């Protein structure tokens, strides 16, 4: 795990400054390379071959090809063996050198050989070309800025590094801000900055005499293969074990996050098969019992005889919140971001590499929003007057503690069902209802943006060619949501502490197999992840496979009414940027209604806070 950066002209001072900004991503080593055509920077977190031979930027023997690389190529040993038969000589045991020689042998098609998580840049002086790529699922981020008039390209693992370059514009993108308030993240390829883009997952980019080209090299597909259920379950377990085994190579201490849910418990089960007893496991909990999963995690840990550590999280500080927003680079207000930052900080005291269960929900239909989407299709069959009456009634449901459970869930369902059906299950991941949308934004700002939030989803699906509603929904989850929300959280929060996270459920071969399983086996009736649960139920301790989903979260709704109440008001009402986009009288109303318990506005308020703090840290300061 590392941080990379660079641009296509010579300036050692600027590239050194960009590189130093990402020291948290690579505390072990730093390096730069510059010539008349390119400047490259790298920070290294040493995981495999800790010697100086792994230092980057890494050059070829003739010094005409240079590489900076962030991530891990888990099958680098087999790539190395194949290349050695072709006459290539390796000077280190690193996966970095495997990328370098694979490019020399295969060119851009080297991407077809890599199984891993990666973002890299190769400078090839032989054809005067920069070649950049991001892994298939988007586990590792890669940002870039390109000015066509001057033909200047700047790239980095983090935006904060790019901002060290004086050639870069820092103008806010109004559309990205609007999308963020609704989705709680900025969809790819946009960022909160108008001129900075994300390289999409499964894409590569070249800058040559032809100019800049961004091209796909892989995409998820859903070609269902019909097999007996027993065969599917057996192969799922076998493939997961293989994916875990591939991710256990490390020259530094290694462990696994364990929540006690189906995904992380399955990873622990496979690690225990391979490594035996004593696998280091870590779980997160709060003093508020409703938000803790210690009991489930301990049950799994005891069953597999792991070396288990419970990390108790106290109410967060304002300092923690601002550190999280600084590390994120752009607003991302998913509630699980902050606890993930805290568990990574605690885990780094014990280990340098950690496996995690990310990806299971996106592969096997794990979110309740899939169930809401299925129920909505039944709801649409009701007579329109009855539906309209229910929509009106939903607006009357307050956020009273006495009305927890069914009524609040019903309100959230009806709010999502009222949105455009082309948003698929993302309607229940969208937190900007019509009333808030009409009242929150200044009219001058509204005129600058497209108010249709689901246009990017429709555009994404236009060329997919998929007919199954569930397959289309999963495509949206894996291609619209996953890389820029949960995986961005995992990368930024772990690398804030120099901790490497490996996600075996997102091994691309495992993903391809999972996507070949019929959607009807993943959501059976109202049971989510059905095929994965039935495959793992006899391997995991009783009661774990079918337990309700919890996930990393924290009690933000309550904290904004209590511990963080003053911080929220100070942040929102004293912000110098919010008044340029939002009706502050309505913001005050949201605060009052939330703190008074009439409504739960935690999603919008937390997003506004994230944007206000982000602006102060990245623009104002």
Query: With contact defined as beta carbons under 8 Å apart, do 53 and 43 qualify?
Result: no
Euclidean distance between CA atoms 319 and 328, whole angstroms:
14
Tokens 């110098």 correspond to 576
Helix (H, G, I), strand (E, B) or coil at 130: strand
309: left (phi over 0), alpha (psi -120 to 50) or beta: beta
Query: Is 121 noted as a catalytic residue in this protein?
Result: no
For residue 98, CA distances in Å to 64, 72, 84, 122, 252 come to: 16, 11, 10, 13, 20
Q: Buried (b) or exposed (e) across 29-47, using 16+ Cβ within 10 A?
A: bbbbbbeeebbbbbbbbbb
Q: Among residues 552, 525, 554, 540, which one has the least CA distance to residue 262? A: 540
User: With 0-12 CB in 10 A as exposed, 13-18 as middle and 19+ as buried, what is 452?
Assistant: exposed
CB atoms within 10 A of CB 525: 9
Q: Which residues contact 23 (CB under 8 A, 6 or more apart)?
A: 30, 43
Beta strands in 459-554 (DSSP E): 500-502
Query: With contact defined as beta carbons under 8 Å apart, do 416 and 425 qualify?
Result: no
Which residue among the candidates 2, 110, 344, 354 is catalytic per the annotation?
2
Structure tokens at 254: 């290694």
Sign of the Cα torsion 318, 324, 327, 332 reads negative
Q: Which residues contact 359 (CB under 8 A, 6 or more apart)?
A: 137, 263, 482, 503, 505, 506, 511
Beta strands in 58-115 (DSSP E): 58-59, 65-73
203 DSSP β-pair partners: 216
Q: Among residues 449, 180, 437, 141, which one has the least CA distance to residue 331? A: 180
184: left (phi over 0), alpha (psi -120 to 50) or beta: left
Residue 255 phi/psi, 5-degree rounding, is -150, -160
Using only C-alpha atoms, what is the Rg of the chain? 24
| Longest CA pairwise span in the chain (Å) | 75
DSSP string, 356-416: --TTHHHHHT-SHHHHHHHHHHHHTTS-HHHHHHHHHHHTT----GGGTTHHHHHHHHHHH
State the pairing for strand pair 254-257/280-286.
Answer: parallel
Structure tokens at 360: 């299971």
Helix (H, G, I), strand (E, B) or coil at 596: coil
Query: With contact defined as beta carbons under 8 Å apart, do 259 and 549 qualify?
Result: no
Q: Among residues 604, 568, 478, which one has the least CA distance to residue 178? A: 604
DSSP letter at 489?
H
Active site residues: 2
């Amino acid at each position: 795990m590392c941080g990379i950066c660079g641009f296509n002209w010579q300036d050692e001072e600027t590239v050194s400054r960009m590189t130093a900004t990402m020291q948290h991503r690579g505390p072990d080593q730093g390096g730069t390379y510059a010539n008349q055509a390119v400047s490259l920077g790298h920070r290294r977190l040493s995981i495999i071959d800790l010697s100086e031979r792994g230092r980057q930027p890494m050059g070829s023997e003739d010094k005409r090809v240079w590489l900076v690389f962030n991530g891990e190529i888990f099958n680098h040993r087999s790539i190395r063996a194949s290349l050695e038969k072709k006459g290539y000589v390796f000077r280190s045991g690193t996966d970095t050198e495997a990328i370098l020689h694979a490019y020399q042998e295969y060119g851009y098609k080297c991407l077809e050989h890599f199984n891993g998580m990666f973002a890299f840049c190769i400078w090839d002086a032989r054809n005067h070309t920069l070649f950049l790529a991001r892994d298939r699922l988007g586990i590792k981020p890669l940002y870039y800025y390109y000015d066509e008039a001057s033909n200047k390209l700047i790239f980095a693992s983090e935006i904060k590094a790019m901002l060290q370059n004086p050639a870069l514009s820092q103008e806010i993108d109004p559309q990205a801000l609007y999308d963020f308030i609704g989705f709680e993240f900025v969809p790819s390829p946009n960022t909160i900055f108008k001129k900075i883009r994300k390289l999409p997952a499964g894409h590569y980019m070249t800058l040559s005499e032809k100019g800049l080209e961004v091209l796909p090299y892989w995409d998820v597909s859903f070609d269902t293969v019909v097999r007996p259920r027993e065969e599917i379950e057996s192969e799922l377990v076998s493939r997961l074990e293989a994916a875990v085994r591939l991710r256990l190579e490390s020259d530094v201490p290694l462990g696994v996050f364990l929540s006690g849910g189906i995904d992380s418990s399955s990873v622990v089960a496979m690690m225990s098969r391979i490594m035996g007893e004593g696998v280091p496991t870590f779980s997160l909990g709060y003093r508020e019992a409703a938000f803790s999963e210690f009991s489930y995690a301990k049950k799994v840990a005891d069953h597999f005889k792991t070396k288990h550590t419970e990390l108790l999280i106290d109410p967060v500080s304002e300092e923690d919140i601002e550190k999280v927003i600084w590390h994120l680079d752009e607003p991302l207000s998913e509630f699980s971001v902050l606890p993930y930052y805290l568990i990574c900080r605690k885990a780094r005291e014990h280990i340098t590499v950690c496996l995690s269960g990310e990806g299971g929900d996106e592969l096997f239909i794990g979110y309740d929003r899939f169930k809401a989407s299925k129920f909505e299709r039944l709801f649409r069959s009701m007579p329109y007057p009855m539906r309209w009456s229910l929509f009106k009634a939903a607006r009357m449901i307050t956020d009273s503690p006495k009305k927890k459970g069914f009524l609040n869930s019903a309100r959230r369902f009806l709010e999502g069902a009222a949105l455009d059906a082309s948003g698929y299950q993302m309607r229940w991941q969208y937190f900007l209802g019509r009333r808030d949308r009409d009242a929150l934004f200044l009219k001058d700002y509204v005129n600058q943006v497209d108010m249709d939030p689901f246009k990017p989803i429709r555009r994404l699906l236009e060329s997919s060619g998929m007919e199954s509603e569930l397959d289309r929904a999963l495509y949206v989850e894996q291609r619209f949501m996953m890389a820029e929300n949960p995986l961005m959280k995992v990368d930024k929060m772990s690398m804030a502490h120099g901790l490497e996270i490996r996600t075996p459920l997102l091994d691309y071969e495992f993903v391809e197999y999972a996507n070949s399983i019929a959607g009807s086996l993943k959501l059976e009736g109202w049971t989510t992840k059905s095929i994965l649960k039935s495959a793992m139920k006899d391997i995991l301790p009783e009661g774990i496979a079918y337990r309700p989903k919890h996930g990393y979260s924290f009690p933000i709704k309550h904290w904004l009414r209590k511990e963080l109440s003053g911080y929220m008001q100070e942040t929102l009402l004293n912000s110098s940027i919010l008044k340029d986009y939002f009706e502050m009288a309505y913001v005050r109303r949201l605060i009052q209604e939330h703190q008074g318990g009439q409504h739960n506005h935690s999603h919008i308020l937390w997003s506004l806070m994230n944007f206000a703090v982000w602006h102060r840290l990245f623009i104002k300061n």
